[in-house]
Structure 1
Amino acid sequence: MNRLLKQINIGAVSVFMMFSMFAHAAELPDFTKLVEKASPAVVNISTEQMVMTKTAAEGNNPQLGPNSQELNEFFRHFFGQQPFNGGNGGESQAPKERERSSLGSGFIISPDGYILTNNHVIDGADVIHVRLNDRREYTAKVIGTDSRTDLALLKIDAKDLPTVKMGDSDKLKAGQWVLAIGSPFGFDYTVTAGVVSATGRNLPSDNYVPFIQTDVAINPGNSGGPLFDLDGEVVGINSQIYTRSGGFMGVSFAIPSKVAMSVVDQLKANGKVSRAWLGVLIQDVNSDLAESFGLKRPHGALISRVMPDSPAKKAGLKSGDIILAFDGNKINHSGELPYIVGQMKSGDKVDVEVFRDGKDKTIALSLESRPDNQKTLEQKKQDENRLGMVVADVPAELAKRLDIEGGVIVKQVIGGTASRNGLAQGDVITMLNGQAIKGAEDFSEIAKKIPNDRSVPMRVIRDGYPMFIPFKITK
């Protein structure tokens, strides 16, 4: 009897566990209908960018002696091809252009061919190709871009296209199911799903976007693709991941649809985005700063500098003021302020609540358009450094080993020109446009005088081997 009861109990437990599993499975969402309906409006985006390279046949160069094969290996590493033509007595062939493709995603927002994607997907592209779900291909033109929100609006010449339905990202809550469709690593129309991890995330490099954080698997090629809610509406544009490995690690970020559509409206109308400007540099308020200023708790945006001739300056805001509220919006973290200001228009009149000298104070001001000469530090650095790289004086020990005087070492390749011309971190530049490089300051001065769209010679040392390369800055 006891044995029979034990078997009955075990059977009951098994039935209960199976029932629980089926009940749990029944609660999980079925994405199949959503994917079938939404996929036709998702597109694959590839780009072409022209770069300079050298080509030549395999073989040793008799003019270089027995070590020419090692140099050829160096050139293969540097350019991807051989620099010398052994079949023609070692004469190097003329530089020619080579196409480099990048891959991303996007989605159609109107039947007449408007497409939304990330700015970084198409940045620097000479040609943009759009492939639809039915394998039709089009060449797209850029209507406008906004680097601050990393958005780009494209247009293809087509009609009656399938479109997505835009949703309200403000209604998203942590824990909701969301789904992404894109082309990670070139695998078209890959579907990944997860939940909203948090909303309103402020990233250090993107103050104008309150990101949606999810655990949806996002990888290279997903950029610019849509993030759907369970109603099949686009609530975000997949843009970034947090990673230490270079691949997905469970933390991804999407641009909210509300932000995206605000940008789209301006890009359609003007081809660019205009934002209100306050004219302050700010920092977060930690517990120590809060105590030193007499705040009961750490919150608000501490003004570290007020720009001259700015709306903030004209209204009487001061360095050391802590902005607690802006136009009725409470400021908990400093990163919330740029987004709030950026959503407003020039001429808007707002009240700013600040904490000054231990007391709350309300200041009225009128916002203005951001002047063209007001750029981020990163933009200024890239504008001043037209070659797209960060350089420094060559360390004495390295200079002695290379038997050189002066020169600069490439500390970082920012992108653009330096990247297109094949430069890499660790390269040593000793001559540019026929002028010897004495150091970093000398390099910057010479670089300013290089003309656009014309190749100039640059002498580079990599892995101990010197060589000249044609260096061209393209507008």
Structure 2
Amino acid sequence: MKLRNQYKIRRSPKRSVFAITAAGAAAAALSIAGLGFHTANAQAPRLMAPPVSADGTLSFADLVERVSPAVVSILVEREVETPRIPDGLEQFFNFRFGDPGERTPDNFDDGVRRMEAQGSGFFIDNDGHIVTNNHVVADADEVRVRLSNGDEVSAEVIGLDPLTDLAVLKVEPPRNQSFVEFADDVNLRVGDFVLAVGNPYGLNGTVTSGIVSAIGGQNRENQYLDFIQIDAPINRGNSGGPTFDLKGRVVGVNTAIYSPTGGSVGIGFAIPARVAKDTVAQLIANGSVTRGWLGIQLQEVTTEIAAAIGLKESGGVLVADVIDNTPAQRAGLMDGDVILGVAGEDVETSNELSRRVASFPPGEKISLKIHRDGKVRNLDVTLGQRDDDQTASAEDVPSNDDDSLAADLGLRVSELNDAMRQQFRVPDNVDGVMVTGVRPGSPAQEAGLQPGVVILQVDGEDVASGNDLRSKIQNAKRSDKDAVLLRMQFGANRQFGALSLDTE
């Protein structure tokens, strides 16, 4: 196997509930027309009606016969480090490789052994490109592909993208090798039938059916994906296999299951084709993926924050912090701005904004629609490219405290000193007041305050001391404000929070 590019892969720790044990991430390139299944040099047939047999009963058999030849098994070998077991103790630890007492260079040598793994994949064109999961082939020493007829061929890894868990392989395809295409115009609805085809537990060509259970669940690992939830059973080895609609189009790639046991419990996840289309195209063209980057920390706009900054309703994304020397700073984006739209399309959430920005290549100039100082304006920014290279527990505040902050808002603060800076790792250039106590269920807790947080500003004005903070809050109350906008810092992160002044 040849690796066209070298990648530094970080493995996510295993989760007991959300197991990356079955399947892939996002779906892929190429135009969609018709059935989604082709042989080389064949024309795309028209879309088909849902599969119905001659006697009128529902059957997937014809559909499976058309699409399953494009689905393959991915066979992977990689070297993994193993604990060194002292001679004679293998049986005691029930930890043995190969035949009893045998330690060959292929299976055990100086604490390293070869591990075999299997996944699924599928042809997407007649050039021999195969889509599978990044987690299936990452760090592999050898990758082979078992075709639907049982033949095995060596595969080259064209590119990997850990953020979408996508990988593209390439083989020398047999003559007239079947392939499938990805839908970019599909309008999936909850309740639609889907089929999953793959290689669970090494059982080649296994087909399971189910429905779309939910759409739009957030990815647990990053901000670039939204899952399609399906109840078609998927298990270990389904990773990278396709999810088909009843027209034979690939609408997703099976990527993960929700399981307390590691086996299917009917809750599986697939990445929609629209997310992966550009990703796969970039992997094929460049061997890697580049994404546009602003350089800001994001925060949702809650109803309370909207009231504090004068927005008529919640929505958009609050800029919690603009990072120095980034495209956002160079374009004039400011802390406290609310981004309402990107390149002419409205955005409602941080995930939506991140995906929208990431869909543009570095160097592209885009327009941001922002809210600042009660006005809506447009700001042009040239996107850059990201360089990939203590929690304190809340303390109760006595309810009989005569401090108005504690009594009304559930908040106790103190001047910053060297001991606090060291304990909570507050940089020397950060000025404000330190939160030392928060009463559970209080407005302070609802605003996101906790011991160790430094309050930097109130309604855009710097806070120099506890008395200064109290004064600014009292002035806001006299102005009949329902909430004030706090700028705060915890560790290295800055964000905003709306502190409600309604204590009734």
TM-score tier by shorter-chain length is 0.5 to 0.7
- Match for residue 128 of structure 2? 113
Is structure 2 residue 66 aligned with structure 1 residue 37?
yes
Could you tell me which amino acid in structure 2 is paired with residue 299 of structure 1?
G
Q: What do residues 370-389 of structure 1 show as CA deviations (whole Å, max 9, x unaligned)? A: 14x345xxxxxxxxxxxxxx
Listed as ranges, the gaps of 5+ residues in structure 1 are 1-22, 60-70, 86-92, 376-475
- Match for residue 145 of structure 1? 160
Could you tell me which of 363, 367, 376 is aligned with 1:347?
363
Q: What do residues 241-270 of structure 1 show as CA deviations (whole Å, max 9, x unaligned)? A: 233333333332212223323122211221
- Inter-partner Cα distance in structure 1 for 2:377 and 2:260: 44
Q: TM-score, normalised by structure 2?
A: 0.60
- Match for residue 244 of structure 2? 228
- Match for residue 198 of structure 2? 182
* Count of residues in correspondence between the two structures: 329
User: Which segment is superposed worse, 283-292 or 106-115?
Assistant: 283-292
Q: What do residues 152-191 of structure 1 show as CA deviations (whole Å, max 9, x unaligned)? A: 0001123321111322255323322111101122222111
- Inter-partner Cα distance in structure 2 for 1:52 and 1:363: 51
- Match for residue 131 of structure 1? 146
| CA deviation after TM superposition for structure 1 residue 134, in Å | 0.4
- Inter-partner Cα distance in structure 2 for 1:322 and 1:170: 32
Q: Is the 8 A contact 1:283 1:302 kept in 2?
A: yes
Listed as ranges, the gaps of 5+ residues in structure 2 are 1-51, 102-107, 390-504
Q: Is the 8 A contact 2:76 2:140 kept in 1?
A: yes
Is structure 2 residue 313 aligned with structure 1 residue 284?
no
- Match for residue 324 of structure 1? 340
Kindly report which structure 2 residues correspond to 1:70-469, keeping only aligned pairs within 5 A, or say none: 76=93, 79-80=95-96, 95=110, 97-160=112-175, 161-168=177-184, 170-368=186-384, 370-371=385-386, 373-374=387-388
Q: What do residues 82-120 of structure 1 show as CA deviations (whole Å, max 9, x unaligned)? A: 9x98xxxxxxx9626422111110001122321000101
Q: 1:301 to 1:244 in 2, by over 3 A?
A: farther
- Inter-partner Cα distance in structure 2 for 1:27 and 1:319: 62
- Inter-partner Cα distance in structure 1 for 2:382 and 2:232: 41
- Inter-partner Cα distance in structure 2 for 1:33 and 1:169: 23
Computed over aligned residues only, the root mean square deviation of the Cα atoms, in angstroms, reads 2.9
Q: 1:57 to 1:316 in 2, by over 3 A?
A: closer
Q: 1:278 to 1:248 in 2, by over 3 A?
A: same
| CA deviation after TM superposition for structure 1 residue 57, in Å | 10
Q: 1:56 to 1:304 in 2, by over 3 A?
A: closer
Could you tell me which amino acid in structure 1 is paired with residue 61 of structure 2?
T
Could you tell me which of 52, 76, 82 is aligned with 1:47?
76
Q: TM-score, normalised by structure 1?
A: 0.63
Could you tell me which amino acid in structure 2 is paired with residue 217 of structure 1?
P
- Inter-partner Cα distance in structure 1 for 2:121 and 2:162: 16
- Inter-partner Cα distance in structure 2 for 1:325 and 1:28: 48
| CA deviation after TM superposition for structure 1 residue 296, in Å | 3.5
Q: Is the 8 A contact 2:90 2:96 kept in 1?
A: no
Q: Is the 8 A contact 1:196 1:213 kept in 2?
A: yes
| CA deviation after TM superposition for structure 1 residue 280, in Å | 1.3
3-state SS of 1:44 partner: strand
3-state SS of 1:290 partner: helix
Q: 1:72 to 1:157 in 2, by over 3 A?
A: closer
Q: 1:56 to 1:175 in 2, by over 3 A?
A: closer
- Inter-partner Cα distance in structure 2 for 1:27 and 1:316: 64
Could you tell me which amino acid in structure 2 is paired with residue 48 of structure 1?
E
- Match for residue 418 of structure 2? none
- Inter-partner Cα distance in structure 2 for 1:126 and 1:145: 14
Q: 1:218 to 1:357 in 2, by over 3 A?
A: farther
3-state SS of 2:379 partner: strand
- Inter-partner Cα distance in structure 2 for 1:219 and 1:324: 40
Could you tell me which amino acid in structure 2 is paired with residue 321 of structure 1?
D
3-state SS of 2:376 partner: strand
- Inter-partner Cα distance in structure 2 for 1:241 and 1:304: 33
Q: 1:102 to 1:94 in 2, by over 3 A?
A: closer
Q: Is the 8 A contact 2:158 2:287 kept in 1?
A: yes
3-state SS of 2:367 partner: strand
Could you tell me which amino acid in structure 2 is paired with residue 274 of structure 1?
T
Q: 1:344 to 1:251 in 2, by over 3 A?
A: same
- Inter-partner Cα distance in structure 1 for 2:305 and 2:363: 33
Q: Flag the structure with higher helix content.
A: 1
Q: 1:57 to 1:112 in 2, by over 3 A?
A: same
| CA deviation after TM superposition for structure 1 residue 56, in Å | 8.4
Could you tell me which amino acid in structure 1 is paired with residue 289 of structure 2?
V
Q: What do residues 313-364 of structure 1 show as CA deviations (whole Å, max 9, x unaligned)? A: 1111122222121112211221111111111123322221222234333222
- Inter-partner Cα distance in structure 1 for 2:137 and 2:265: 25
Could you tell me which amino acid in structure 1 is paired with residue 148 of structure 2?
N
Question: Which one has more relative contact order, counting CA pairs under 8 Å at least 6 apart?
Answer: 2
Q: 1:118 to 1:169 in 2, by over 3 A?
A: farther
Q: Percent identity over the alignment?
A: 42
- Inter-partner Cα distance in structure 2 for 1:351 and 1:53: 52
Q: Is the 8 A contact 1:169 1:256 kept in 2?
A: no
- Inter-partner Cα distance in structure 1 for 2:291 and 2:157: 20
Q: 1:146 to 1:57 in 2, by over 3 A?
A: closer
